């Protein structure tokens, strides 16, 4: 994952973490699905970014 994408996803995760839990969970689900579709679960950056989620989804 390039640094631009990494920073974009990290910012989106931080913004979702700051929202209401119901809305945040839906945003995090979308982010997780996109990360996995684009980079796969074996990518170390994807693993780290998913661990930054405030809520379990």
pLDDT in tens, 4-52: 999 999 999 999 999 888 888 999 999 999 999 999 999 999 999 999 9
pTM of the model: 0.86
Residue 43 to residue 46: CA distance in whole angstroms: 5
Contact 13, 31 (CB under 8 A): yes
Contact 21, 33 (CB under 8 A): no
Contact 37, 5 (CB under 8 A): no
Question: How many residues are recorded in the chain?
Answer: 57
Residue 51 to residue 46: CA distance in whole angstroms: 9
Residue 37 to residue 21: CA distance in whole angstroms: 24
């Amino acid at each position: 994952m390039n640094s631009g994408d990494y920073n974009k996803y990290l910012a989106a995760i931080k913004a979702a973490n700051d929202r209401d839990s119901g809305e945040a969970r839906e945003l995090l689900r979308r982010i997780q699905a996109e990360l996995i579709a684009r980079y796969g679960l074996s990518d170390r950056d994807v693993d780290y970014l998913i661990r930054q989620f405030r809520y379990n989804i």
